[in-house]
Structure 1
Amino acid sequence: MRYEKGRKDASRSRIMEVATQRFRGDGIAASGLASIMSDAGLTNGAFYPHFPSKAALVRECVAAALEGQSGQIAQALASGGLATAVDAYLSAQHRDNPGTGCASAALLPEIAREQPETRQLYTERLMTLVRQVSAALPPHTSDPEAVAFGIFATLIGALQLARAVEGADLSDRILAAGADAARSMAQPRGGAGQEPAETGVTIAAKTERER
């Protein structure tokens, strides 16, 4: 049976929407094609006219997820700068909804085991995100891409830790500590005639000394 193009495109979009949420929420290996197609309201046989393999579906879902994240970062940077982007990333809402959150935090160990084509695509999309953040750093930042890598590593690691531990209080503390560390990396560094920027940690230490 042949379907009009609009219906085929809608089915493909539905498969990707369901698969992206399942991959991020349950993991790639734990998400079978049968369950994805069932959730999408389609038969198993309807998969292959759209994707030649599960690996191809994973690749396209990862690409779409990171492109969406790029748009979210751009919006956050435009509305409130890096601090807003950091706070949005290390929020309780993001922590509690991995199915609609950052693909890196949810899938990095599995992406590392994917085919070279998927890892290459991930690398390209990651570099787009890194360049977005590096462009938003203070002027005269030394090696802004290296700083941006550090910020991403801190954000992703903090989010993964916050999701892994038992207990809301500890999880919230990890989110707060990660946000403080990421914001401190984004501050201008001290130079000739310039005082180093104060972070939450340095401010607390200074207050303690003044007591």
Structure 2
Amino acid sequence: MRYSREHKLETHARIVKKASVRLREKGAHGIGVADLMKDAGLTHGGFYAHFDSREALVIEAFAHAMDRSTERWRKLAEQTPPQKRLASIVNSYLTPVHRDDPGHGCAVPTLGAEIARESPKTRKAFAAKLEQMIDMLAEQIPDVPRKAARKQAMAILSTMMGALVMARIAGSSDFSDDILGAGREAVLGRATSPKAGKPRARKAAPSAPH
């Protein structure tokens, strides 16, 4: 049976979306092509009708995840007064909700270490998306020259992602929550609070657009 171009594009997008979630859950080498295709409701044999190689799918899946994060940040910023945009993004990122759902969260903390060991082509694609995230975050830092804002954004992103990795290592615990809080405070310079979980003494942050 021959399918329309629209059908093929929709199928391609579904594979990428499903793979994006599964790769973040299981790691770049934690799941094979057959399983990725099964998740998308397709047979292993249909893979090469959509992708030249597994690497091609991995690159697209990573790009999809990072684009989603950047778009969520952008939408959150549009709904927030300029002076509060950075804090809103940070408070939504460093939450128990994000910590406990890596499959739908930021791709860098879940896959960054693995990407560093991938091919130059994969690393280059990942780095380009990382740079877009940095530039978007820099736009949320008001009254600072672009070059300085970009450096600040790099430091902020590094702190956020490092805190999230440490919090995941610690699991769902008071210690883990404290790591998230320390990350927020390190970036914003004041005490902030998590979104979900058990009641805390401090005010809750908004839901997490990772």
Partner of 2:109: 105
Q: What TM-score comes out, normalization by structure 1 length?
A: 0.84
Taking the aligned partners of 2:128 and 2:170, their CA distance within structure 1 comes to: 31
SS class of match (1:70): helix
Partner of 1:55: 55
Deviations 1:117-156 (A, max 9, x none): 1211111111111111112213136721111110000000
Partner of 1:155: 160
- Structure with more contact order per residue of length (Cα contacts < 8 Å, sep ≥ 6): 2
> Which amino acid in the other structure matches residue 148 of structure 1?
A
For structure 1, the residue ranges without an aligned partner over 5 or more in a row are 185-198, 202-211
Deviations 1:148-191 (A, max 9, x none): 1100000000001111114511111111110111113xxxxxxx
* 1:128 maps to 2:132: yes
- Equivalenced residues, count: 187
Contact map agreement 1:76 1:82 (CA 8 A) in 2: no
Taking the aligned partners of 1:166 and 1:88, their CA distance within structure 2 comes to: 18
> Which amino acid in the other structure matches residue 129 of structure 1?
M
Partner of 1:86: 90
Q: What TM-score comes out, normalization by structure 2 length?
A: 0.84
> Which amino acid in the other structure matches residue 66 of structure 2?
L
Distance 1:30 1:140, change over 3 A: closer
Taking the aligned partners of 1:200 and 1:12, their CA distance within structure 2 comes to: 44
Contact map agreement 2:17 2:64 (CA 8 A) in 1: no
Contact map agreement 1:65 1:102 (CA 8 A) in 2: yes
Taking the aligned partners of 2:133 and 2:172, their CA distance within structure 1 comes to: 31
Taking the aligned partners of 1:12 and 1:73, their CA distance within structure 2 comes to: 25
Taking the aligned partners of 1:173 and 1:44, their CA distance within structure 2 comes to: 44
* 1:176 maps to 2:181: yes
Give matches, 1:1-211, under 5 Å: 1-80=1-80, 81-140=85-144, 143-184=148-189, 199-200=190-191
User: How far apart are residue 8 of structure 1 and its match?
Assistant: 1.3
* Identical positions, percent: 37
Contact map agreement 2:65 2:106 (CA 8 A) in 1: yes
Partner of 2:205: none
Taking the aligned partners of 2:139 and 2:90, their CA distance within structure 1 comes to: 15
> Which amino acid in the other structure matches residue 100 of structure 1?
H
